[in-house]
Amino acid sequence: MLRTVSLALVVSLFGSAAVAGEWFLHPFGELRAYHDDWLAVCDDDGRGACRVVRAQADSGSGAFFDARLSLHRGDGGWWIEVMDRGMPEQALTALSFDFGAGRVVALAPGDWFLGELRYANVAETVTVTDPAIVEDLIARLQAGRVVLLRYAPVGAGAVEAFPLRGITAAMAAVETLREERGQ
């Protein structure tokens, strides 16, 4: 039986309220809940791995998404994946998270690895797992309104702007579900 989990209102650091969405079972077998611009997803009817995702298509693209920023929750904590169609991931020399007003977190080779943590050989994707870097980025993501992701060398995209409205609520929903599951 599907258990419905709901959060009340989550107040962001800017004082605006975000309504947390109800969990629902997606046809793919994932438990999902929308939180403004972000989606909380837990595999295997909510019993599997969880993540929060912001995916978006490029203007004029026929794809479901061309870029994705994902925060995954595992037993060891959170990790971050960046996907951008056309990103030359194997040639990257720099990746930065720009929160505006000079607040930039610049990563260097060695701060990320190619592909996804859960799946091998995923193209146009890099993953950040270093706990100190991830903790700093999560604090900034939760406090921000938008993040610009830039990388070098420039690929087909090179700059992706991700709105951050709802990221805190989505992460809280995942944590609440994990606590209810005893994880």
The 10s digit of each residue's pLDDT in 12-66 is 323 334 446 899 999 999 999 999 999 999 999 999 999 999 999 887 777 778 9
Residue 85 has φ and ψ, to the nearest 5°, of -60, 125
Q: How far is CA 40 from CA 31, 140, 166, in A?
A: 8, 19, 10
| Sequence-ordered list of residues with C-beta below 8 angstroms from that of 10, at least 6 positions apart, any chain | 17, 18, 20, 35, 168, 169, 172
* End-to-end Cα, the chain, rounded Å: 19
Q: What is the pTM of this model?
A: 0.85
Q: Does position 167 have pLDDT exceeding 90, yes or no?
A: yes
Mean pLDDT across the chain: 86
> What tokens were used for 148?
């610009």
The 10s digit of each residue's pLDDT in 2-12 is 333 322 222 33
